[in-house]
Amino acid sequence: EAAVTQSPRNKVAVTGGKVTLSCNQTNNHNNMYWYRQDTGHGLRLIHYSYGAGSTEKGDIPDGYKASRPSQENFSLILELATPSQTSVYFCASGDADWGGAYEQYFGPGTRLTVL
Amino acid sequence: GDSVTQTEGLVTVTEGLPVKLNCTYQTTYLTIAFFWYVQYLNEAPQVLLKSSTDNKRTEHQGFHATLHKSSSSFHLQKSSAQLSDSALYYCALRDGSSGNKLIFGIGTLLSVKP
């Protein structure tokens, strides 16, 4: 069965510190995505990738960087974490099916608290 | 720009009664696919339904939705809500402008009461 895993599942960071969130997928999907989820805002796209070596800015990329070193792995990096980045972060992977729908499969999420 | 609108932030319904979650969209591009995602407490979002055919009813796990391009809608319905249906529901679409991305609504929290 297709699987997306994330680590860590919970993280407490200090303001100004560096945080790296990791995502691994065994779906062999070309596309991977990072979202944050906040009450009242739903799922917002931070960065995404078309394949190994590529990263693209999503709707809210400020304060975040991404890295896609391989087909399977996609990381989200907060170089200087701020309390406003306290949120739940979801990674997803997906490819087009026969109908052109890019169904996305989500990981379990990482709860990040920046103090 | 393209958007998906879910008008209710919270829908509360009594167990056994019908429920309808609204989803409308706005796009000037060719629409390709529509989704309803469900997210149970402390879990990941997962696909509940998907459709790309106008006026065709799609069903899964007792829920159904029909894409109506004439009214730009893809409402989610169930005839008899269950306590286990309590969750956060997202409507999403892919169209010609979104590339390999999905455009999500902000979600509707469904609370089913005994």
Q: Reply yes or no on whether the pLDDT at A2 is more than 60.
A: no
Using CB atoms, which residue from B102, B105, B107 is nearest to A104?
Answer: B102
Query: What pLDDT does residue A14 have?
Result: 97
Question: What would the pLDDT profile of A54-79 be if each residue is shown by its tens digit?
Answer: 999 999 999 999 999 999 999 999 99
* Mean pLDDT across chain A: 94
B102 near A CB under 8 A:
yes
Segment A86-113 mean pLDDT: 89
Cβ contacts of A98 within 8 Å, gap of 6 or more: none
Domain count for chain A, please give it.
1
Class of domain B3-95: mainly beta
Domain boundaries, chain B: 3-95
Show the domain range for A90.
4-96
CATH of the domain at A48: 2.60.40.10
Using CB atoms, which residue from A31, A58, A103 is nearest to B47?
Answer: A103
Q: With an 8 Å Cβ cutoff, are A102 and B90 in contact? A: no
A10, A93, A103, A111, best to mutate vs chain B, most B CBs in 10 Å: A103
Residue A25 contacts residue A32 (beta carbons within 8 Å): yes
B36 near A CB under 8 A:
no
**What is the distance between the alpha carbons of residues B107 and B89, in angstroms, rounded to a whole number?**
5
Tell me whether residue A104 is in a domain: no
Scanning B71-90 for CB atoms below 8 A from A yields 90
Q: Reply yes or no on whether the pLDDT at B31 is more than 60.
A: yes
Using CB atoms, which residue from A42, A48, A50 is nearest to B90?
Answer: A42
Please tell me which residue of chain A has the smallest CA distance to B35. Answer: A103
Q: Reply yes or no on whether the pLDDT at A109 is more than 90.
A: yes
Q: With an 8 Å Cβ cutoff, are A40 and B106 in contact? A: yes
Query: What pLDDT does residue A1 have?
Result: 58
Tell me whether residue A30 is in a domain: yes
Please tell me which residue of chain B has the smallest CA distance to A94. Answer: B100
Tell me whether residue A47 is in a domain: yes
Taking CB atoms and an 8 Å cutoff, what residues of chain A touch B35?
101, 103
Query: What pLDDT does residue A95 have?
Result: 84
**What is the distance between the alpha carbons of residues B90 and B76, in angstroms, rounded to a whole number?**
10
Query: Secondary structure of chain A in the HEC alphabet?
Result: CCCEEEECCEEEECCCCCEEEEEEECCCCCEEEEEEEECCCEEEEEEEECCCCCCEECCCCCCCEEECCCCCEEEEEECCCCHHHCEEEEEEEEEECCCCCEEEEECCCEEEEEC
- Per DSSP, the residues of B27-43 read -SS-EEEEEEEEE-TTS
Query: What pLDDT does residue A23 have?
Result: 98
Q: Reply yes or no on whether the pLDDT at B46 is more than 70.
A: yes
Query: What pLDDT does residue A65 have?
Result: 98
Tell me whether residue A113 is in a domain: no
- A60-69, B29-38, B60-69: which range is least confident on average? B29-38
Using CB atoms, which residue from A43, A101, A107 is nearest to B50?
Answer: A101
